[in-house]
Structure 1
Amino acid sequence: MSNSIKEKAAQIAEPIITDMDFELVDVEYKKEGKSWFLRFFIDGPNGVDIEDCGRVSEQLSDKLDEEDPIKGAYYLEVSSPGAERPLKTEKDIQRSIGKFVYVTTYEPIDGEKAFEGKLVNFDGATLTIEGKVKQKAVTYQVPYEKVAKARLAIQF
């Protein structure tokens, strides 16, 4: 049930968010305690701030009230995906070339299931990540079909 609500909410939100020059990164619809939350995570070329989230929230609230995809009370939240933004699509990964990433896989590749480093290439089939193991430079070739999760990472 919550998947169809997420999909419907995303369909309603996408054109509004795009028209405001932002990108819809993710949608969550989940129960926390006794309350339901519908969360939209947005990003923009220069990131997003609290004012951006407020403007998007106002627009979404009006449209969601009009379309009424959720039969019941819920809290609407709009926020940034944060510094460790999830990379959910091929487009997200393509845009993240040159950035520091953390990737986990469904099955081990050369005995490893977690890879961290600079994403240097993505050809649609393989992610090339340059990392370090004990101060030694290593290059990982991670097949896209084996990626369980990918996100931006903070480099220390």
Structure 2
Amino acid sequence: MSHDAQELKQLIAPVVAGLGFELWGLEYRVQRNSALLRIFIDGPEGINLDDCAAVSDQVSGVLDVDDPIPVPYRLEVSSPGMDRPLFTPEQFRRYQGEEVRVRLNWPVEGQRNYRGRISDMDADTALILEVEGHVVRLPLEAISRARLVPKF
């Protein structure tokens, strides 16, 4: 997670928690003249549209006051959904044994895209993935995106 994303997370997490939800994770992308801040929230009863609107209103207020994003930005708030993104070592551990798709920032063993079963975490630094009987160690800082593969 970038330095800016980490700062945004520290600013936003208490707001989300204050409304009774968990900040599951966030994506922060900056283009030349704009930015996208996508926040994923979760709750014991799941998330509905009203929950997303409430969090959006509160987070917008905090961002307007603190003004941490130097360009015009779009704020999106949603639930993690069936193809839940995974951001932290704790989340990877929580879904151990589940199938996941992973996209990397750089190749590991000659590949940037993986689909496999979460086997374990190596400390808090690498995801251990079982891919067709082969074990692959993916450094967390190499992971661009990781999402659960939904079971139907």
TM-score exceeds 0.5: yes
Match of 1:80 in 2: 79
TM-score by length of 1: 0.67
Query: Residues 71-150 of structure 1: matches in 2 within 5 Å?
Result: 71-103=70-102, 106-108=107-109, 114-117=114-117, 119=118, 121-124=119-122, 127=128, 129=130, 138-145=132-139, 148=143, 149-150=145-146
TM superposition score normalised by structure 2: 0.68
Which segments of 5 or more consecutive residues in structure 2 lack a partner in the other structure? none
State the shift of 1:151 in Å: 1.8
Is 1:5–1:29's contact at 8 Å kept on the other side of the alignment? no
Tell me, in whole angstroms, the C-alpha distance in 1 between the residues paired with 2:120 and 2:52.
31
Once the 2 structures are TM-superposed, how far is the Cα of residue 91 of structure 1 from its aligned partner? 1.3
Give me the whole-angstrom Cα distance separating, in 2, the residues matched to 1:128 and 1:11: 29
SS, match of residue 16 in structure 2: helix
Compared with structure 1, are the counterparts of its residues 144 and 113 closer, same or farther at alpha carbon in structure 2 (3 Å cutoff)? same
- Residue ranges of structure 1 left out of the alignment (5+ in a row): 132-137
Deviation at 1:60, TM superposition (A): 0.8
How far 1:85 moved relative to its partner?
2.6
Kept in 2, the 8 Å contact 1:107–1:113? The answer is no
Letter in 1 for 2:30: K
Identity of aligned residues (%): 31
Q: How many equivalent residue pairs?
A: 143
Distance 1:42 1:55 in 2: 11
Alignment-mate amino acid for residue 12 of structure 1: L
Q: Which has the larger radius of gyration?
A: 1
Contact 1:42 1:81 in 2 (8 A): yes
For 2:85, give the aligned amino acid.
Answer: P
- For 2:148, the equivalent position in structure 1 comes to 152
